[in-house]
Amino acid sequence: MQRTQSPLPTRLARANPTTVFLVTLVLVLVLVAFFTPGALGGLFTLLLAAAVAALLVTTWSVQTPQTRVIRLVALTLLVTAGLVKLL
């Protein structure tokens, strides 16, 4: 690598295209869930919370107790936001 090149573009060029697509899709879904008003936005937010809960269950055994608490608080806030939007 030349001294004038930044390591960030080099790393981005080597990123797996499928991973980049999936991360982008998740970010778009998060934005849609948060900015869609009413019941539809609440359903999207609860769908996002279900995905986070599935990830939490999958990784539960390898997390430290402090990380578990933080993730449970974040999940609780997400579910609360979804329920508030539904009402």
pLDDT value, residue 3: 60
In a domain, 37, yes or no: yes
In a domain, 2, yes or no: no
- Total number of domains constituting the chain: 1
In a domain, 55, yes or no: yes
pLDDT value, residue 8: 74
- Residue-wise pLDDT tens digits, 13-35: 787 888 888 888 888 888 888 88
- Which residues fall within 8 angstroms of residue 72, CB to CB, at 6 or more apart? 56
In a domain, 19, yes or no: yes
In a domain, 17, yes or no: yes
Domain carrying residue 52: 7-86
In a domain, 73, yes or no: yes
In the chain, the amino acid numbered 47 is: L
pTM, full prediction: 0.69
In a domain, 48, yes or no: yes
pLDDT > 80? residue 84: yes
- Residue-wise pLDDT tens digits, 38-72: 899 999 899 989 988 998 899 888 889 998 999 99
In a domain, 70, yes or no: yes
- 23: which DSSP letter? H
